[in-house]
C-alpha cells in the first residue's frame, strides 16, 4: 500500500513538472520576478505520514513582502492549519512571524492545540526499550489486535513567544522566549475505536498502561501536567536563504529552565540545546549538501516522562516530537529514541532539476538523498522493580534489555521537494530504518526542508 501510494504521488508530481515545463522552460533566478506586496499560498492538506496516517484539512501561508526589496525574505508571515489524520491526530495551529512588529526584533508567536488518539510510546533509553515490530501485527489469545500496544493518547496545548535580536548585525543574535506546554495523557480509548466493529477489534493491553501499573511511570506524572519553559541563548547565522540555503552555517545554543512555580507539578529542571547546521554549494543555484548536528540534554532537576520526547529548535522552525519520524530520523518510528539527553544528525544532498513559473508563481522542483542518525546520551532513571519477572501471555516476549548497548539508530532514504516563491515548500520523503528494532520504513508528505 505504501509503495503504491508513493508511486502515485511521484506520478502526480511528475505530471505537474511536465505541465510546468510546457509553461516556461527558461525561467532562472536572473529573470525571476521579485514578489512584492501580499501573497497567499493556500493548500489543501492531503498528505501522508507513516506515523500518523493520511492527513486531510486545509492550511494557508500569508506573506507580506512589502516593496519587494528583501525578496525572498518577507516582512510578515501568518500560517494557519486545521487538519486531521486517519490515526486520530488533530492539528489546530496559528503562527505569526515578523521582524517588523518590534523594531530590530524577530518574533514568532504560536498557539497550537494538538490531539493524538494514539501517540507512539516505546519506553526509555533507546535500545534498552525493546520494540517488537512483529508483535504489533499479531493478535492475542482472544483474537484482539495488538497494533496499539505501543501507544497512548495525548492532548497538548502549546503557546509560545520566541524573540531574536541583533548583537552583530544578523549574523550573531540573542534569543529569548517563553513557552507553555499543557499535557493531558491517558490510555488509548480502545472502546471508542472498537465501537460499531464486529471484527479486527483492538486489544486493551498497553505498554504505557503497564508502565503506570508497575510504577515505571510515577503516579503524579501518569496523566500529564502543565509546564512553562523560560529560555535564552545565542544564534550565529550566515545562511544565504532560509527556506533552502546553499551556503553558510546556522548554529545555536539554548538554555531552558522549567521552574516548578510555573507548573501545576513539583517538577523543575533545566536543559541545554546545542545545534549546528552547515550548507555547501556544489553547483550554484542547483545542488547543495547540508548537515545538522544536535545535542539536547538535561543539566539539572527532574523531568517528567512526557517532557522527554521533544526536539527543540529556534525560530522559524517549530519544536517537534522526539527522535524518530518525519522531522528527525526518517524511517524510524516516532519517539523511538527517548532519554534525558540525546544526540542526532542528518546529512542531505539536495539538487534542483527544474525551475519555472506557473500561474505567475515561481516554482522549483528538487530531489534529495539523506542519512539520519541519533542515540540516547543520558539515560532516564526510572524504577523498574515493580515489573513482573514473567510477563502476561498477551505481551511481547521482552520489554526491557538493561544490558543492551546504546549505539546510533540509523535511517536513510530520499525525497522530492516542490517550492513556490522559494518560501512555501512541499516535501515528500521516504525513509528506511537500518534495524528492525527501530521500524521498517515510512513515507512523509510535509512542508519545508528538514533544516
d(CA 447, CA 415): 12
Show the domains of the chain with their CATH numbers. 2-447 (2.40.160.50)
**What is the full per-residue pLDDT of the chain (451 aa) written as tens digits?**
444 444 434 334 433 333 333 333 333 444 557 778 888 877 787 778 888 888 899 988 898 888 888 887 788 999 999 999 988 889 999 999 998 988 889 999 999 999 999 999 999 999 999 999 999 999 988 889 999 999 999 999 999 999 999 999 889 999 999 999 999 999 999 999 898 888 889 999 999 999 999 999 999 999 999 999 999 999 999 999 888 899 999 999 999 999 999 999 999 999 999 999 999 999 998 999 999 999 999 999 999 999 999 999 886 666 678 899 999 999 999 999 999 999 999 999 999 999 998 888 889 999 999 999 999 999 999 999 999 999 988 899 999 999 999 999 999 999 999 998 877 788 999 999 999 999 999 999 888 888 9
* Cis omega (within 30 of 0) for bond into 349: no
User: For the whole model, what pTM was predicted?
Assistant: 0.86
Written as one string, the DSSP assignment of 351-410 is EEEEEEEETTEEEEEEEEEEEEEEEEEE------TTS-SS--TTS-S-SB-TT-----EE
Task: With beta carbons less than 8 A apart as the criterion, state whether 158 and 179 touch.
Answer: yes
> Which of 420, 424, 442 lies closest to 433, judged by CA?
442
d(CA 208, CA 205): 9
Task: With beta carbons less than 8 A apart as the criterion, state whether 282 and 288 touch.
Answer: yes
> Which of 287, 288, 268 lies closest to 278, judged by CA?
288
Q: Specify the residue for cell string 512589502.
A: 66
Q: How far is CA 308 from CA 257, 281, 338, 358, 381, in A?
A: 14, 36, 6, 44, 12
Amino acid at each position: 500500500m505504501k509503495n503504491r501510494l508513493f508511486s502515485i504521488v511521484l506520478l502526480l508530481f511528475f505530471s505537474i513538472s511536465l505541465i510546468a515545463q510546457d509553461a516556461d522552460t527558461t525561467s532562472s533566478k536572473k529573470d525571476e520576478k521579485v514578489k512584492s506586496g501580499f501573497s497567499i499560498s493556500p493548500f489543501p492538506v492531503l498528505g501522508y505520514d507513516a506515523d500518523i496516517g493520511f492527513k486531510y484539512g486545509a492550511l494557508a501561508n500569508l506573506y507580506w513582502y512589502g516593496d519587494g526589496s528583501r525578496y525572498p525574505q518577507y516582512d510578515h508571515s501568518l500560517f494557519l492549519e486545521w487538519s486531521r489524520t486517519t490515526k486520530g491526530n488533530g492539528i489546530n495551529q496559528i503562527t505569526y512571524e515578523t521582524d517588523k512588529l518590534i523594531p530590530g526584533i524577530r518574533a514568532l508567536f504560536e498557539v497550537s492545540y494538538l490531539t493524538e488518539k494514539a501517540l507512539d510510546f516505546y519506553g526509555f533509553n533507546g535500545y534498552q526499550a525493546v520494540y517488537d515490530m512483529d508483535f504489533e501485527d499479531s493478535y492475542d489469545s482472544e483474537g484482539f489486535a495488538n497494533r496499539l500496544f505501543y501507544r497512548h493518547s495525548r492532548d497538548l496545548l502549546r503557546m509560545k513567544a520566541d524573540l531574536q535580536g541583533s548583537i552583530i548585525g544578523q549574523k550573531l543574535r540573542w534569543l529569548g522566549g517563553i513557552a507553555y506546554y499543557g499535557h493531558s495523557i491517558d490510555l488509548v480509548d480502545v472502546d471508542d475505536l472498537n465501537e460499531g466493529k464486529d471484527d479486527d477489534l483492538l486489544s486493551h493491553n498497553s505498554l504505557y498502561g503497564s508502565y503506570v501499573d508497575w510504577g515505571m511511570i510515577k503516579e503524579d506524572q501518569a496523566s500529564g501536567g502543565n509546564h512553562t519553559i523560560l529560555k535564552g541563548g545565542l544564534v550565529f547565522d550566515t545562511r544565504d536563504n532560509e527556506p533552502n540555503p546553499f551556503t553558510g552555517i546556522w548554529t545555536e545554543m539554548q538554555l531552558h529552565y522549567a521552574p516548578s512555580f510555573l507548573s501545576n507539578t513539583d517538577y523543575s529542571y533545566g536543559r541545554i540545546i546545542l545545534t549546528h547546521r552547515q550548507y555547501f554549494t556544489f553547483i550554484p543555484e542547483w545542488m547543495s549538501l547540508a548537515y545538522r548536528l544536535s545535542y539536547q540534554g538535561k543539566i539539572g532537576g527532574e523531568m517528567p516522562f512526557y517532557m522527554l520526547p521533544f526536539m527543540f529548535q529556534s525560530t522559524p522552525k517549530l519544536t517537534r516530537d522526539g527522535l524518530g519520524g518525519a522531522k528527525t530520523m526518517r524511517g524510524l518510528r516516532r519517539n523511538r529514541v527517548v532519554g534525558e539527553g540525546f544526540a542526532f544528525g542528518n546529512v542531505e544532498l539536495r539538487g534542483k532539476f527544474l525551475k519555472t513559473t506557473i500561474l505567475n508563481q515561481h516554482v522549483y522542483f528538487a530531489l534529495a538523498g539523506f542519512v539520519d542518525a541519533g542515540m540516547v546520551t543520558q539515560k532516564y532513571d526510572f524504577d523498574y522493580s515493580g515489573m513482573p519477572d514473567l510477563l502476561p501471555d498477551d505481551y511481547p516476549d521482552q520489554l526491557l534489555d538493561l544490558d543492551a548497548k546504546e549505539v546510533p539508530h540509523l535511517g536513510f532514504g530520499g525525497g522530492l521537494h516542490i517550492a513556490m516563491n522559494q518560501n512555501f515548500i512541499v516535501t515528500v520523503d521516504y525513509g528506511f530504518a537500518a534495524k528492525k528494532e527501530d521500524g521498517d520504513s515510512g513515507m512523509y508528505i510535509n512542508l519545508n526542508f528538514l533544516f
